[in-house]
Amino acid sequence: MNEILSNVFIGIGVAFDFFGCLGLLRLPDVYNRLQAATKSVTLGTWSILFGVFLRYGFTAVGVKALICIPLLFFAATVAAHALIRGSYIFGIKLWDKSVVDDYKNEWTQQR
Amino acid sequence: MISTIDIFLYILILLSFFCLFRIIRGPSIADRMVAIDIFGILVVGICALMVIKTERKFLIDIAITWAILSFIGTITLAKYLSRKKLNE
């Protein structure tokens, strides 16, 4: 029973990872790529680790997988935010069909 | 006999090749950094699946360590992109 449930969670996670990496491969712009990839790949890896926890229960491996989940959430989201802010400051242009750029006013007011 | 875990593992390795393609072909430097970040998160999932496949318990420690090191590396690259020193 636990094995089937953990396989289901791991399958959901691999599907999220797949769509995230497809977005990384296909989308036209660095901002689009990051907002597609980071969110879904983080959620997919969360689901894989939760599946490992369900399979092993409260043993050493399961608890370590459970510890890895909040670590991954905070680390991946903070890193993605810093990365996208850095690339905006670096001066990488938006896609030419993008319609709104809210950060531009804020960034010009800051300096 | 190919089990379900094997299929998931092959799919994840294929996805890391997608990231490798983006690292090689990325038009700008930020694309490469995004791909490196995503690659680091994917390897955590691969390590967690390898625990189930090979029954070696130390691989989950490698997953935790890889998550931390990927975070530090991406923060360093982002600091480099925003043209700042590491202490400001």
What pLDDT was estimated at residue A13?
Answer: 92
- DSSP per-residue codes, A54-95: HHH-SSHHHHHHHHHHHHHHHHHHHHHHHHHHHHHHHTPPPP
Distance CA A10, CA A49 (A): 8
Q: Report DSSP state, residue B35.
A: H
How many folded domains does chain A comprise?
1
Handedness of CA B57, A21, B28, A96 (dihedral sign): negative
Percent of chain B residues topping a pLDDT of 70: 94
Q: CA nearest A59: which of B52, B53, B47?
A: B52
- DSSP per-residue codes, B68-87: HHHHHHHHHHHHHHTT--TT
What pLDDT was estimated at residue B78?
Answer: 86
What pLDDT was estimated at residue B2?
Answer: 81
pLDDT averaged over every residue in chain B: 87
What pLDDT was estimated at residue B13?
Answer: 92
**Of the candidates B35, B37, B64, which has its C-beta nearest A64's C-beta?**
B64
What pLDDT was estimated at residue B88?
Answer: 57
**Contacts of residue B29 in chain A, CB cutoff 8 Å?**
90
What pLDDT was estimated at residue A8?
Answer: 92
* The Cα angle at residue A14 between residues B68 and B39, in degrees rounded to 5: 35
Cβ <8 Å between A24 and B67: no
What pLDDT was estimated at residue B84?
Answer: 67
Q: Output the pTM of the full model.
A: 0.88
Q: What is the pLDDT along chain A (111 residues), one digit of tens a residue?
A: 788 999 999 999 999 999 999 988 888 888 888 888 888 999 999 999 999 999 998 999 899 989 999 988 888 889 888 888 888 888 777 877 778 777 777 777 776
CA A73 to chain centre: 8
**Contacts of residue B77 in chain A, CB cutoff 8 Å?**
83, 86
Q: For the segment B10-53, what is each residue's pLDDT rounded down to a tens digit?
A: 999 999 998 898 889 878 888 888 888 889 899 999 999 999 89
Report phi then psi at B49, rounded to 5. -75, -30
Q: Work out the pLDDT band at B87, boundaries 50, 70, 90.
A: low
Long-range contacts: B21-27, Cβ < 8 Å, 24+? B21/A25, B22/A24, B22/A25, B22/A33
Cβ <8 Å between A76 and B41: yes
Structural domain boundaries, residue A104 = 2-110
